[in-house]
Chains A and B, each alone.
Chain A
Amino acid sequence: MGQQGPDGTTRQDQHGQGRLLPGDGTVDLAAHLDLHGPPPFSDGRPGAVSLIDQVDKAGLTGRGGAGFPTGRKLRAVVEAGRRGGAMHSQVGTVVVANGAESEPASRKDRQLLSQSPHLVLDGMVLAAEAVGATRTYLCVHAAAPGGAVQGGGPPREALGGPLREAVVSRERSGLNRVPIQVVEIPGGYVSSQETALVNLINGGRAVPTFVPPRPAVRGAHKRPTLVQNVETLANIALIARYGADWFRQAGDAEAPGTALVTVSGAVTSPGVYEVDLGSRVTDLISLAGGPAADPQAVLAGGYFGGWLPMQALAGLRLSQPSLRRAGASLGPGVIVLLPAAACPLAETAHAVAYLAGQSAGQCGPCKLGLPVLAECMQRIAFGRPGRDLLGSVQQVFALVAGRGACHLPDSAAGLAAGTLAVFEAEVRRHAEQGPCPRVNHPQVLPAPDLVPA
């Protein structure tokens, strides 16, 4: 990789792993300022290159799962703030940093927040300046017992306290131009969806709400609100300092920059790795020590993603557009290697049951459809599925996709339907002979015991 830092040295060589995770252990404020200096506020300097222009030019996309262009989100909030007129320009917009990382197979946000908290906090205050925000919130999960994937990083309950301390340490140095409030969110998977965070901040429950209004238009405190993943914000902090050209020195043309990827399952060294976007998926698996057992497939993108059989990995690049083309996704940077000794249908059945259990129960099709879907997947994995059962999955897919207030039903249905397509041969074998002993393999995909929102 070898990106040039501002001082001309090679960040990679000097500091070990990379841009966002410069080494092992926490980078405290003093070390952070040594490494990067203070956040470069533009202070309305005439001629100062706008941060939003830089972010556009850098081609930064959201690292929370969907990969939406960050510059466009920043602009949408600025424009909504302007449209709001005097009222908004006086009280300002809001920035929400999403560090909840509800995706069960992901640990990268926890690793980032514990190792490089000030990069995220810089990103928050710089984004706040760019969109005219006067309040910012950093959302992390409250204690979440059990079910964590391997690979280092502190348990969830450890994050809130250290982050508050990090915020306080900056106050003394005047680095927080806007107040930063650390919010510990309750509940499960959907509590970190952007409208759920906004609803919680507004005094409601951490459950998704209907859009419109979208948060960018009317969110926290009824003001235009920028919700951005913490890794996205950390990248903003780097782009503000070193510029778009520097940012693009890593990654490829369609997916610039680096990504934090959590690699788990049947690899020798599971953990969080920072890699250039556009690098090979197989190289990342090698970086994680290579397969620890005979592998059969990769779940790319987590539970909003999809399965890729090993053959599909040949030459495959790791980026949102590339993995989308292959029928999966990068999601929030999740790669799970499934050993040949495990049953992909049983694994997916567990995952879909987990997702069904995470429904907030607010929307009819989600509340009523996902249990049916989970039941179908259970019978396909552990029984002898007939054609009718496979047809049912397609039917439920059509009935739930796009019909919830959030994307939970879409992703559960997409994962189920995608699995039946990718593992068609397995499904046929289950239909003819019933399940094989691999269904008893210990579960590879994590399904934490979270209380749904």
Chain B
Amino acid sequence: MTGRNVQQTLRVNPIACDSHGLCMELLPELVAADPWGYPIIRPGPVPAELLPLARRAVTACPTLALLLIRADDQADPPQT
């Protein structure tokens, strides 16, 4: 389980997010706005070619609410 090949997913920490909307501007391929301006993330692992853009969006989020997380990190046990 070394870092390299582990797929990443994009997630929003909904507690930290205050709907700045930067992520939607920087990464419209994966992030859309809901009617209140909060980000809706396209589910599934981030395609390799979008990873640089995704990293840029993560760094740009003013409240550090956008996260790249190892796709296997939501495994066992799930949040209940």
Which chain A residues have a beta carbon within 8 Å of chain B's beta carbons?
A: 62, 64-66, 68, 72-73, 76, 194-195, 208-212, 214, 216, 362-366, 368-369, 399, 403-407
Residues of chain A within 8 A (CB-CB) of B76 are: 72, 76
Closest to B15 in A: A362
* Nearest CB of A to B22, in Å: 15
What does the 1/0 interface line of B47-80 toward A look like (CB < 8 Å)? 0000000000000000000000100011011111
- Pick the residue among B34, B77, B79 that contacts A365 (CB under 8 A): B34
Q: Is the CB of B69 within 8 A of A364?
A: no
B26 / chain A contacts, CB cutoff of 8 Å: none
**Chain A neighbourhood of B74, CB < 8 A:** 212
How far in angstroms is the closest Cβ of chain B from A207? 8
Q: Is B27 an interface residue (CB 8 A)?
A: no
Contact A364 B80 (CB under 8 A): no
A–B pairs, 29, beta carbons within 8 Å:
A65-B80, A68-B78, A68-B80, A72-B77, A73-B77, A76-B77, A194-B79, A194-B80, A210-B13, A211-B79, A212-B74, A214-B77, A216-B77, A362-B14, A363-B17, A364-B17, A364-B36, A365-B14, A365-B36, A365-B38, A366-B14, A403-B14, A403-B40, A404-B14, A405-B13, A405-B14, A406-B79, A407-B79, A407-B80
Q: Which A-B residue pairs are the 6 nearest by beta carbons?
A: A66-B80, A363-B14, A364-B38, A210-B13, A362-B15, A73-B77
Q: How far is the CA of A436 from the CA of B13 in the complex (A)?
A: 43
Q: Is the interface of B mostly helix, strand, loop or mixed?
A: loop
**A212 and B73 alpha carbons, distance in the complex (Å):** 8
Distance from B33 Cβ to chain A, minimum over Cβ atoms (Å):
11
A76 proximity list for chain B (CB < 8 A): 76-77
A194-B80, A216-B77 given; A368·B14 CB < 8 A: no
Query: How many Å lie between the Cα of A76 and that of B76 in the bound state?
Result: 7
